[in-house]
Chain A
Amino acid sequence: MPDNVGVMDRFVDRLPETAFFKFVAARILVPFWAWWTPVKPLPGGPHPSFQHGDNVQCMMNLIMPLKDKSPVGRAHAAMAIAQHKDAIFAGLNNVGTVHFARFVIVGDNICMFSVYDGDFTNYIRDFIATIGEVFDAVVGLVEGGEEITPCEKNVEAFIQWVHEHDLYQVPDTPTDFLRDQERLNGDKAVAPVNDDLTLLPRKMVLQLRANANVSLGSGYRAYPGYSVAQVRKQLGLGW
């Protein structure tokens, strides 16, 4: 350290790690900036793209808050999945574009995490056609679910509901996160731009306040660029 480092310098450098600062940040600074510079939650699901590689192995991270937030409510959700296991697996086979799918209970939420190929709305439409009953059973246990069941009769509303419960996928690079916010706010980047990159931490904090659950990055893929159909064909699985 240079010689002119004083006591206050050392104290301030350590300040963000202190319980006092964390308390002030959480209780005062973040609420203040959220009020002063409101942030809209970024929409969930994969970023739209025409490119092949971006339209295979897409992620869906559906977080659905349970109506009954007790162990009994969670048990009901677990039973709904268990009772429909055959229907879910048959439906997933019939959809034919799903790499992986699983249901998970996290806290008071029932979650469906899946990796699929192709367009999101078609994916959900296929689901409604093949396992609509299962979704009705699960969504019936979830907050706001009654408005979209039976899903066969509320297809568009159901798709929109799923999209709203799909997590925002934070991009792989910090600058793409900034671009997402700019697009949402209608910033057309007219030259000359005059950004303040030092505001990135605040923008991220405020987005995570508005959007408490997010998916981080585009995720790892062992065989990027391949669809379910290609993998099955290559492995000789009789598809």
Chain B
Amino acid sequence: MVDPSTAKRLVQVIHDNLPTPVPGRRPVHTIGIGVKGKFIASDVARTYCIAEHFDGAPVEVSIRFSNGLGGLEQHDGWSDVRGMAVRFHLKDGTASDLIATTLGEFFVRNVDDFFKFSEIAKREPFKRRHWLLKILDFLQLKIPQRNPYPGETQSIDEGALRYANQHRFSQLGIFQVGLIGAPESYARASYHAVHTFWVTAPDGVRRPVRFYWQPVAGVNNTDPKAELRDKYLFDELKERLKRWPARFMLMMTIGEEGDALDDCTKPWPGTRLRIAMGTLTLTGIPEGAEQAEAGERISFNPCRLAPGIEASNDPILEARLGAYEVSREMRGGCPFKWSADNA
């Protein structure tokens, strides 16, 4: 377990790298929208995991979709990681959370890596690369640094690249961030929970697994050459849900001996067994005060897990347990009982 002072430092480092302070708000994934939904487990889910939300009965679900950037400015059209935090509401009033993003792998292995990354990948002035340098890049068969978006004056791209050049474990995650793009809709992206969890089956067998959400509508990004739009994702989702519910399949990949269980920078091969655990249906978007609760005050934690699911020893997952709580306290987020007998 990461000690409280480290958890505070983690959150502070993130706050320190923001373009402007965001008091009372999340320091990353600041812009988000709360959505209501229902989850129904597949017929086979209960044979792999005894957690209540996999027993096949419909489960009420709260979802928060978000843009990864920290700060109050909304830039839906920018290439950015998107978040999908899901809370399964259990019968006794507790819950199980599953926090996922469009990033397939993370870029640091532990807290020390994160602090080092934060030192190197600080926000720096970001300017368009001179055309002569771009020609030089082309002559070397390199792809030049991207152009800044309108209004983008600072970026961590250069620092992140420097870090990746020195740390091979981070290269995949940082590559993915660079190529991630902007989704046409929050309902048209795949979201990965990146960490390994252990699930227990009714026969007592424990399996290491990784979860991801796959959109039934399919994955689709916007055209990066088209004119950028700063605000479209919330309205798109509202319009989409007025027409028809949007759905996601919850997929669970089972790890094998030798797979990275405690390192979220390492992918598992595509040849691993994968199980369809159930279907999430987005049913509606709360409005007004209800949206403030569902989109802002709600506080997720990747280690809030129903009996039958356990966190692995992934140091980043451990660190998130404390850091999410510190961040919740700092912004006055809604506390949540962790078990039926702790209010």
Contact = CB atoms under 8 A, between A and B. Distances in A.
A29 B141 contact: yes
B270 A172 contact: yes
Contacts of A178: 171
A218 to B, nearest CB: 5
Contacts of A52: 256
User: In the complex, which of the residues B167, B168, B174 has the most CB atoms of chain A within 10 Å of its own CB atom?
Assistant: B168
Contact of A2 (B128, B137, B269): B128
B138 interface: yes
Nearest to B179: A174
Given A5-B128, A52-B256, A194-B166, A25 B141 contact: yes
Interface in B167-222: 167-168, 171-172, 174-175
A221 B273 CA distance: 10
Contacts of B150: 1-2
Given A5-B128, A202-B142, A196 B165 contact: yes
A2 B174 CA distance: 26
Contacts of B140: 33, 199, 202
A49 B269 CA distance: 11
B331 interface: no
Contact of A51 (B131, B254, B256): B256
Interface in B148-165: 148, 150, 161, 164-165
Contacts of A219: 270
Interface stretch (A11-19, A90-98, A127-135, A145-153): A11-19
Contacts of B171: 175, 178, 195, 197
Interface stretch (A53-61, A64-72, A81-89, A100-108): A53-61
Interface in A1-39: 1-2, 4-6, 8-9, 11-13, 15-16, 21, 25, 29-30, 33
For chain A, which range describes its interface: under 10, 10 to 19, 20 to 34, or 35 or more residues?
35 or more
A134 to B, nearest CB: 29
Contacts of B259: 51
B165 A197 contact: yes
Nearest to A204: B141
For chain B, which range describes its interface: under 10, 10 to 19, 20 to 34, or 35 or more residues?
35 or more
A175 B257 contact: no
A21 B168 contact: no
B167 A193 contact: yes
B226 interface: no
Contacts of B164: 195, 197
B289 interface: no
Nearest to A189: B168
B258 interface: yes
Contacts of A195: 164-166, 168, 171
A225 interface: yes
A54 B269 contact: yes
A16 B138 contact: yes
B142 A175 contact: no
B270 A12 contact: no
B119 to A, nearest CB: 15
A201 B142 CA distance: 6
A238 interface: no
A53 B256 contact: yes
B339 interface: no
A12 B134 CA distance: 7
Interface string A160-201: 000000000000111100110000000001001111111111
A218 B271 CA distance: 8
A212 interface: no
A8 B131 contact: yes
A192 B135 contact: no
B269 A4 contact: no
Interface string B251-275: 0001011110000000101111110
B6 interface: no
Nearest to A192: B166
Nearest to B127: A2
Contact of A174 (B134, B148, B175, B269): B175
Given A178-B171, A193-B167, A198 B137 contact: yes
B125 to A, nearest CB: 13
Contacts of A53: 256, 269, 271-273
A54 B273 CA distance: 11
Contact of B258 (A51, A175, A189): A51
26 contacts: A5-B128, A6-B131, A12-B134, A12-B138, A13-B134, A16-B138, A33-B141, A49-B269, A53-B256, A53-B269, A172-B267, A189-B168, A192-B166, A195-B166, A195-B171, A196-B165, A198-B142, A198-B143, A198-B161, A200-B175, A201-B143, A202-B142, A218-B271, A221-B270, A221-B271, A225-B271
Interface of B: 128, 131, 134-135, 137-143, 147-148, 150, 161, 164-168, 171-172, 174-175, 254, 256-259, 267, 269-274
Given A9-B128, A12-B134, A225-B271, 13 more contacts: A4-B128, A12-B131, A172-B267, A174-B175, A175-B171, A175-B172, A198-B143, A198-B161, A202-B141, A202-B142, A205-B141, A217-B270, A218-B270
5 closest Cβ pairs, A-B complex: A202-B141, A225-B273, A12-B131, A53-B271, A175-B172
